[in-house]
Structure 1
């Protein structure tokens, strides 16, 4: 008879004990170390302002803002935008464990940190841009602006007209009143906790419906400008500030319109804004003013596509910079679009003539190479749909994307600002 081969089979149920420290989990050039090198060199005073636990006082110690900021920056670079997903990765992924350093972090803390520090994140972005300008990386010779419509955390079926919203709001208010009465009448503690949770949910629904009703006049005005009936205006019961927009694939979905302005020489993001309309019209001047205030100077040239150009916007922008944007083609093909028209202001006439020159055409080519590249990198990092609701929270997400993007540009163009090779990060070079 044939003898049976003797082999070793895996026994995955056996216990193993390995002695290791968190520091040994990551190689020297890991991206998590790069993120920590950036975070530990920032002034996080504004992030610390809300912490009430102090030395010698009572209460539980708060999680250091450095940990929470580093987790979000690394998660953004990793294409993770959900607080729950980050909390799961903290339990299983070495890079997230290393960033936490043994500190327990849950998804509530992560979510609250990102949405509660919009102003601090905006200030941190300004500081990072200022440091890159001081290092000679950002020169502001040419800045390209572009919008990118991103799906909102709301379904198309959540949109209702005025009459429906009024009826739902009345029902929601009735439910809140009923739950308040039940909560006051029920003496059982366990049941009171459940009633309190239901009451909070009812109040949140009531607030969302009130917000949707308050936004209807704005949507009605947009409909009227489009030549449609104001009665067709609808607002979302889930995210009132989301708007149905035409997306890149030609479909219509609830979305936001984030606006990014990027330095053409360095691909550093120097301006971040979020619009609640699908059109880029009217977005040029506000972004130019933001970048000027953030950087302390206006760019020499401002590059935009045809969706931004408008006579009023060009006239106002011409006071600070030189606008490069395509001139709309006239219906009459025999008319030269680059010749000034009767009634054009001096700024508009200059813009028409300028865009007809070979020099302007060469400069304008940098727009796509800058704006489209930055947008593509954001898409590659998971900016396909927002996981938060409301304009303020969406703005925080975009600021985090800008900070993460600029961090990588800093590592590539000015690594000395990260102290590469020194400190706790121990980065000898730029790794993955």
Structure 2
């Protein structure tokens, strides 16, 4: 007897389907993209609108609303995406990014230009977000922890050259610019002129990068000299002059930046952002205290740092504004009490030594790791492993967006009413830092 073959329905994934659906229905209530938009639409973006030349009744193409571009970068940061090209690809396939755009076409050039050109606006937004959290009683600045985190730069390790090489490359670059200018003026063909213009633009950019590298060398030479090394061995990158070869967490040496974050210990809100171009944290404490004081309008009561910050000069200056909690270096002679004031100590340094020997100070200092390391870990988890931009100004913009995104999620957890979400963290279930 012939066995009957079962008749079943099999998937046909090549079949075209047409679905009627609006963008609003793509995301459920409480979706992170909706939280980002709730934050963005409540901000005063007049500084971002100031550069838009298209106006009602005028000519020219309408500009993309800054709210869309800011929301895309905040959501992408929370999503661990740091590349403008990667974001532009997600605009075609990811419902959250499509919802944020609302049908507006955005390319990677626009995204990239927005991020690198809006440093002042992003800095102002950070101050406003902190002020709103302070007004809500979330941020109190009783204890602020500062820490640095070395992040790989976009520059390649092979792009670093010494002075003699850089000068040779710069001379060749200037000659190439002069030659291309002459060729562009002599050739009447429009298509060829366009290609020559592109080559000339690239040559000028290379010339500018080499000039920056040579201008950075004296600073690197001074660092080498302070370290007791031969300043003639100083090298600067031809692609990102402000990147510096630093010792990383794994013990290797790579081009990097040293972002500095200051965070409120009670709320884990970032209250200060800076980027250093040196691998050491020495000298970074006082500028950050000054920034946080100016940004928040009040002095922090206590400042928590690790051993990389506690130079005597920094302790003396910082003690005029706040109480410093940082570890006292252990003396070579184990019989010497490190917390006992020395004859050469200033009043501020002696007070710091004695303070760090008390049980109260040890309890307070434990909060440093719980604050700074936690904030750093969240930044790493959100993709802060390597910068995709070059130059200190652009890197600072990236860090400001990280701080804004981080503070947004703290706002959701601690003060959701600022986003119109209710009066408790439970108003948005499942949302953490």
Alpha carbons 1:242, 1:390 under 8 Å: kept: yes
3-state SS of 1:262 partner: strand
Tell me the equivalent position of 1:113.
114
CA distance in 1: counterparts of 2:339 and 2:55, whole angstroms: 65
* TM-score, length of structure 1 as denominator length: 0.98
3-state SS of 2:327 partner: coil
Alpha carbons 2:302, 2:324 under 8 Å: kept: yes
Shift of 1:428: 5.9
Alpha carbons 2:416, 2:422 under 8 Å: kept: no
Shift of 1:216: 0.2
Shift of 1:6: 2.4
Alpha carbons 1:172, 1:205 under 8 Å: kept: yes
Shift of 1:8: 2.2
Give the direction of change, closer, same or farther, for the CA distance of 1:395–1:9 in structure 2 (3 Å limit).
Answer: same
3-state SS of 1:29 partner: coil
CA distance in 1: counterparts of 2:296 and 2:77, whole angstroms: 24
Alpha carbons 1:28, 1:428 under 8 Å: kept: no
CA distance in 2: counterparts of 1:127 and 1:152, whole angstroms: 29
3-state SS of 1:16 partner: coil
3-state SS of 1:339 partner: coil
Q: Does 1:102 align with 2:108?
A: no
Shift of 1:431: 5.2
Q: Does 1:389 align with 2:402?
A: no
Shift of 1:188: 1.4
CA distance in 2: counterparts of 1:379 and 1:431, whole angstroms: 21
Alpha carbons 1:300, 1:322 under 8 Å: kept: yes
CA distance in 2: counterparts of 1:100 and 1:287, whole angstroms: 36
3-state SS of 1:323 partner: strand
Alpha carbons 1:30, 1:431 under 8 Å: kept: no
Alpha carbons 1:31, 1:430 under 8 Å: kept: no
What pairs up with 1:277-426 in 2 under 5 angstroms?
277-420=278-421
3-state SS of 1:274 partner: strand
CA distance in 2: counterparts of 1:146 and 1:278, whole angstroms: 12
CA distance in 1: counterparts of 2:53 and 2:381, whole angstroms: 38
Alpha carbons 1:153, 1:386 under 8 Å: kept: yes
* TM-score, length of structure 2 as denominator length: 0.97
Give the direction of change, closer, same or farther, for the CA distance of 1:186–1:431 in structure 2 (3 Å limit).
Answer: farther
3-state SS of 2:42 partner: coil
Instruction: Pick which of 177-186 and 345-354 moved more.
Output: 177-186
Alpha carbons 2:263, 2:371 under 8 Å: kept: yes
Alpha carbons 1:340, 1:349 under 8 Å: kept: yes
Give the direction of change, closer, same or farther, for the CA distance of 1:24–1:428 in structure 2 (3 Å limit).
Answer: farther
CA distance in 1: counterparts of 2:427 and 2:307, whole angstroms: 45
CA distance in 2: counterparts of 1:152 and 1:258, whole angstroms: 11
What pairs up with 1:172-321 in 2 under 5 angstroms?
172-321=173-322
Structure showing greater relative contact order (alpha-carbon pairs closer than 8 Å, 6 or more residues apart): 1
Tell me the equivalent position of 1:429.
428
Alpha carbons 1:148, 1:259 under 8 Å: kept: yes
CA distance in 1: counterparts of 2:224 and 2:262, whole angstroms: 28
CA distance in 2: counterparts of 1:237 and 1:211, whole angstroms: 8
CA distance in 2: counterparts of 1:393 and 1:384, whole angstroms: 16
3-state SS of 1:417 partner: helix
Shift of 1:7: 2.5
Alpha carbons 2:416, 2:427 under 8 Å: kept: no
CA distance in 2: counterparts of 1:348 and 1:165, whole angstroms: 44
Tell me the equivalent position of 2:37.
36
Alpha carbons 2:30, 2:428 under 8 Å: kept: yes
Shift of 1:136: 0.2
Unaligned runs of 5+ in 1: none
CA distance in 2: counterparts of 1:203 and 1:332, whole angstroms: 58
Alpha carbons 2:262, 2:273 under 8 Å: kept: yes
Shift of 1:11: 1.8
Q: Which deviations, in whole Å up to 9, do the C-alpha atoms of 1:131-179 show, x marking residues without a partner?
A: 0000000000000000000000011100000000000001111111111
Alpha carbons 1:411, 1:430 under 8 Å: kept: no
Q: Which deviations, in whole Å up to 9, do the C-alpha atoms of 1:332-353 show, x marking residues without a partner?
A: 1100000000111000000000
Q: Provide the alpha-carbon RMSD of the alignment.
A: 1.2
Alpha carbons 2:213, 2:236 under 8 Å: kept: yes
CA distance in 1: counterparts of 2:147 and 2:103, whole angstroms: 41
CA distance in 2: counterparts of 1:428 and 1:318, whole angstroms: 41
CA distance in 1: counterparts of 2:104 and 2:212, whole angstroms: 38
